Chains A and B, each alone.
Chain A
Amino acid sequence: MNSADSLLNWQRTSAIAVVFYLLRAARRFVTDGLPAMAVILATYASAGESTRALMATGVIAAMGIGIIVSILAWLRFRYCIAGDRVLVRSGILHREELSVEFNRIQNISIREPFYMRPFSLALLSIDTAGSGKKEIVLGGIRESVARSLRETILSKTRHPEVGEKTNEQVDEDAPSLLLSRSSKDIVIYGLTINFILWFLIAVGAVFGAQDLSEKIFQWLASRIQLEQVLAVVQGDGSVFTGILIMIGGLLLLLLLLPTISVIGALFRHYGYRLSVEGETYRKNSGLLTRHDESLKRHKIQAVIWKQNFMARVFRRTNIHLRMASAGSAYESGQLPTGPKTTFIVPALNDGQVSELSAEFLPGCDAESAVYSRIDRRRFFKVILGFQVLPPTLLVTILLMLVASWKFVVILPLAVTFTWALLERRWRKMGYAVAGDHGFIRHGLVGSETTVFPLFKVQRVDIRQTPGQNRRGLAHLVIHLASHSLKLPHVKVADAQLFRDLALYHVESTNRPWY
């Protein structure tokens, strides 16, 4: 406490923060500039001596600018704690002053990156909810200060409903360990996380118009502009070598991806320990950089059970806890499931899943959820008839006219393939209400079930197309503070009942949702 109280004046972070700013800039440069990098590399390979020298100078200059900017960013950064709010001043040219009330803080995490550990320094990131997407990172403050600051903030954001009671409880409840993960668990987790991504990329190209896969596909396509790479490679080779290089690269990528994701998972989650103290969950993990995240139970907006194909093979499920997010991550150009508003509990077996779900969602009776299905005919008809068939038909006819009539086989193949996929998706899709919790399930090979307390619903939309209107069906869209869930082709009566139930729970309680 004492060290946090001494932050009442404007403070500067440690000089190590420069490294943090530099790394952050480098990461942004790599993720945003990936297509440019490929082009630059290819140009470099085929360029003459003088061009190479010029390019090298450019790279060194860019690095120099990066270092100078990072130093300036550190010099300009000040923070202070005043009453029940955190104040931050930052910005090199565009000055900015930010003030965040403790109450608005969703999530506080402490990270000890490897370059800060020798100096016992840490990064404290503060996530806020509400209008405007803001995150405060105090880079390079003393680790003890970071911890006491977090304690101060957490103690002041006590849930109104829990109020005084927990104050007493905290003394009694020593932190108790809920879960620890071995390296084996983490390796399994690593194998399961990104698999869905590779699989969906393949499937997503042909299928799943409203799916996550499409977003990922678009995201990848926008970053890796193959045409540009190809154009450069073609400069001194034939089209054939270009294609060969691309195929080789793709194969390498497919082999590399699981390895990368396992290594990534180990770095991030090594020595995973989840403990609970009163209302607060605490997660410790990390190989080089230690991550120390905390989350209050009442901040959980939804619990997602994720089991994809690989996870099914290992009979494991990953739990994602979703917190309120300001704006969807996808809109700001990041991948749909950013780590910022998701708290991951990896590689659980069935027993652990139900044990922990009961912990995260008190009063949730998942056993008694009876899932209903969406309208099969309409679902098949809309996707197959309106979305898949017309373009396939067009392409087939074109190919038949231009090349050979034999291309007619595309049609039955496409229909059977789509049919099989739709059948699986339809079987997985379901919705249920049990007690005061809602359940929505999606899936293809694996499944993803979102469980949310009904009183945390923010807004409900019911949409009807003219076709649905005739058949008494509708789309139901449920907006949570963390994300939105869409159920297509539900019976209107069911959609309305789901909505009325959610509103009933929202309106009949004064419990705050945040």
Chain B
Amino acid sequence: MSFINLQINVDELPVADLLEMEPMSADYEREVRTQQLIIWAPILLVSFLPVLVSGVIYLLAIPVLVLLLAGLIFHLVIRKSRAKGIAVREHDIAYGSGLYWRKTVMIAYNRIQHIEVSSGPLQRRFGLASLKFFTAGGSSVDLSVDGLQRERARQIRAWILARSDTADTE
């Protein structure tokens, strides 16, 4: 730790590395599955068209390939959704994501400008919501957490609002 030169004891720092990530709600996985079905079902149907129109049996390879590709992506997307996690701590929130390309974002509550809870039509069906955090400087969302149960999202927002003087929107 040669780059550091300071008065406080490094060993006493709250270590973000040891945070326990809370996985997303089980409903989130179901939402992701549904989302994938909605995307792939029409593509699969269309891929049967060449066979049906021409009658050449070898063209069945197209839907087979589509199915394989869909299966692979489906698998990866589900694994990716499982890799997400948040840790709500006393003074800050951490969000980890990514299957191979990992990313961990941390924001302290007293730097949050405002919090937004939103849920799309599909999310509402599964009782889910997205939590969005905004800090100063960036014009876009600084941290967006999908796949929380709506109650949990509101609970986290209330927890954070109680610990800072931020504004909120819904």
Contact = CB atoms under 8 A, between A and B. Distances in A.
Interface residues of A, number: 55
Interface in B6-39: 6-8, 10, 13-17
A503 B6 contact: no
Contacts of A482: 137
B112 to A, nearest CB: 9
B139 interface: yes
Nearest to A436: B6
Given A458-B107, A480-B137, A514-B136, A503 B14 contact: yes
A458 B111 CA distance: 6
A359 B6 CA distance: 20
Contact of A331 (B3, B106, B139): B139
A479 B13 contact: no
A91 to B, nearest CB: 22
Contacts of B139: 131, 133, 326-328, 331
A482 B137 CA distance: 6
A87 interface: no
Task: Please classify the interface of chain A as helix (H, G, I), strand (E, B), loop, or mixed, using the class held by over half of its residues.
Answer: mixed
B138 A368 contact: no
Contacts of B108: 503, 506-507
B102 interface: yes
B121 to A, nearest CB: 26
Interface residues of B, number: 38
B138 A503 contact: no
B137 A458 contact: yes
A378 to B, nearest CB: 15
Interface string A346-378: 000000000000000000010011111000000
B106 A431 contact: no
A437 to B, nearest CB: 9
Interface string A496-510: 111111011011001
A368 B5 contact: yes
Interface in A69-98: none
Given A479-B137, A479-B138, A506-B111, A461 B104 contact: yes
A504 B8 contact: yes
A129 B137 CA distance: 8
A500 B15 contact: yes
Interface stretch (A225-233, A252-260, A464-472): A464-472
Given A370-B5, A459-B143, A504 B137 contact: no
Contact of A483 (B6, B7, B98, B137): B137
Given A331-B139, A459-B143, A506-B92, 10 more contacts: A133-B139, A324-B137, A326-B137, A370-B2, A370-B5, A459-B135, A461-B106, A466-B101, A499-B16, A501-B6
Interface of A: 129-131, 133, 324-328, 331, 365, 368-372, 430-436, 457-466, 469, 479-484, 493-494, 496-501, 503-504, 506-507, 510, 513-514
Top 7 A-B residue pairs of the complex, sorted by shortest distance between their CB atoms: A327-B139, A372-B3, A507-B91, A481-B137, A481-B136, A464-B102, A458-B135
